Amino acid sequence: MGLGGIGKTQLALELVYQIKEIYGDCSVIWIPATAMESLHRAYMDVGRKLRIPGWEKEMQM
């Protein structure tokens, strides 16, 4: 978290570009963390799309 408009997203994107330049075969997954519910939903969606075993199990929050 932090104040809006101070460059958090731009900093994260720059890091992603640098990592992809060094490790071209890696994947970067952007997870929004605006609320616990959306965070949980995003992780579940990533698990489903990547077919990670056990993604459908309910997570304890």
Report whether pLDDT(61) > 60.
no
Please list, in sequence order, all residues whose beta carbon lies within 8 angstroms of the beta carbon of residue 2, skipping any fewer than 6 positions away. Answer: 8
Overall pTM surpassing 0.75 (yes/no): no
pLDDT the model gives residue 59:
60
pLDDT the model gives residue 46:
92
pLDDT the model gives residue 11:
92
With H, G, I as helix, E, B as strand and everything else as coil, classify residue 42: helix
Q: What is the pLDDT of residues 2-37, one digit of tens each?
A: 677 788 889 999 999 999 999 989 888 888 888 899
